[in-house]
Chains A and B, each alone.
Chain A
Amino acid sequence: MSFSVMLTQLSAGMVKTVGIFALTLIFSLPLGFLICFGRMAKKGVAGKAAGIFFRAYISVMRGTPLMLQLMVVYFGPFFLFGMSIGSNWRFPAIIIGFSLNYAAYFAEIYRSGIESMPIGQYEAAKLLGYSKPQTFFKIILPQVIKRILPAVTNEVITLVKDTSLAYALAYAEMFTIAKQIVASKSDFMPFIIAAVFYYIFNLIVAMVMEYIEKRLNYYH
């Protein structure tokens, strides 16, 4: 197999890798906020119940392997409910598995940011008459985003590399293809190309995040 054919096949896989990456972020970043709020809820019976539930959720999501979680999401409907699972289910299962897992990590990052805010910011907002939603969206959230950006960058970079776990469900993302070519052609080259692809992808991610950090550097 020529180098250019390899490159073409791996590039096609790379499109799918980017797909997993982008969709996971689109779903898990907002979902993390819901989990974070549930985790931090304290008021009333419902709040306490939510607190316990989401604490357990985060604990399980962080305490078990992502690969196993992907398997559960993919095979669960069959083993638990006897539903037939076709190949149409493969991609949604991957996105659901990744999003549920990453949302748990993002929730804890958000919580660390929100809890690091000085109480004086809330008190000043209260004195000035801001409502609770106004206080959160205008005063707290912008500062939280600045504070958590480095931690989010870490997680996003990990996600780029974690997309390779989709091979567990035989989804033809870039690394799955690389392994197939290596096995069938006894050629080591696809692994090197894969490494370069991941590295460049992460270089771009790091540059974008650094740019955003710089944009938010106008205050401290």
Chain B
Amino acid sequence: MKYLEMNHVKKSFDGLDVLKDISLSVEEGEVVSIIGPSGSGKTTLLRCATLLETMDCGDLAYLGESAAAIVDGRSVYQKPAQLAKIREKFGLVFQNFNLFPHFTVMKNITDAPIHVQKRPKDEVYREARGLLEKMGLADKESAYPCQLSGGQCQRVAIARALALNPRVLFFDEPTSALDPELTGEVLKVIRSLAQMHITMVIVTHEMAFARDISDRVIFMDGGVVALEGTPSEVFESDNPRMREFLGHYARV
């Protein structure tokens, strides 16, 4: 089943075309990485998919439920109540975490399940403890975000997103704000989610990681999908833009 489907997505900011007719679909259990140079529209695509940005044109659906459709060449979105229901189907992990600084780790994770989804408290707390265990943060439940390292914060943010049981989990450059040591611990967690067959869309600059965990890799360049395929197809492609892009990594 297609968990996410978006077609003919166009988006411009002040006359600058950031996305030029992009389509993306993600199957159940699939791990898709989006790579590409800065300014290629990766993050904008993610923000359109997560309803943080409205598309100029394009349709968007989760598990067959439409969030936006193209009418006369423009995107028309569903009513807010419908969009709220669709928002439950996905989660997003931000580059800079966006944890709530005045909440403890535990409250960051449990507050939305309890007060938005109205689930029973004990069940939510039990699940949250399980998630923290999985994230290697079992001893941090009463800590505040300011007492944690960046890597720990990002793992809390992942647990917070998972606590709502999303069908698709998006990552927007989850390790770009972290040093190499902390990057490793976050990637390890994402890798374990991939092994659990959680459907994920990951915008990343970690090439080895993308190659390793993805079922499919999308290389974006200049607002279009320049290349798409299995990791080996993409990373071993002769596409000159891809070779040039990877060349920058080889030189570092």
By a beta-carbon cutoff of 8 Å, the part of chain A in contact with chain B is 118, 120-121, 123-124, 126-131, 134, 138-139, 142-143, 146, 218-220
Contacts and interface: CB of A to CB of B under 8 A. Distances in A.
Contact of A124 (B88, B98, B146): B98
Interface in B142-166: 144-146, 160-161, 164
A127 B87 contact: yes
Q: How large is the interface on B (under 10, 10 to 19, 20 to 34, 35 or more residues)?
A: 20 to 34
A121 B100 CA distance: 7
B91 A127 contact: yes
Q: Which 4 A-B pairs have the closest CB atoms?
A: A124-B98, A120-B98, A128-B112, A129-B116
A219 B145 contact: yes
B101 A123 contact: no
B112 A120 contact: no
10 contacts: A120-B96, A123-B52, A124-B100, A127-B91, A127-B161, A128-B164, A134-B116, A146-B102, A219-B101, A219-B102
B116 A128 contact: yes
B52 A219 contact: no
Given A123-B52, A128-B160, A128-B164, A142 B102 contact: yes
B96 A126 contact: no
Most buried by B among A127, A134, A138, A139: A127
Contacts of A138: 111, 115
B84 interface: yes
Contacts of B145: 219
Interface in B103-124: 111-112, 115-117
B92 interface: yes
Contacts of A118: 98
Nearest to A139: B100
Contacts of A131: 116
A129 B87 contact: yes
A142 to B, nearest CB: 5
B164 A129 contact: yes
Given A126-B87, A127-B92, 7 more contacts: A120-B98, A121-B100, A126-B51, A129-B84, A129-B112, A134-B115, A220-B146
B94 interface: yes
Contacts of B144: 218-219
A53 to B, nearest CB: 28
B66 interface: no
A130 B96 CA distance: 20
Nearest to B115: A134
Contacts of A124: 94, 98-100
B183 interface: no
Nearest to B92: A127
B43 interface: no
A116 to B, nearest CB: 13
Nearest to B145: A219
A120 B99 CA distance: 9
Contacts of B87: 126-127, 129
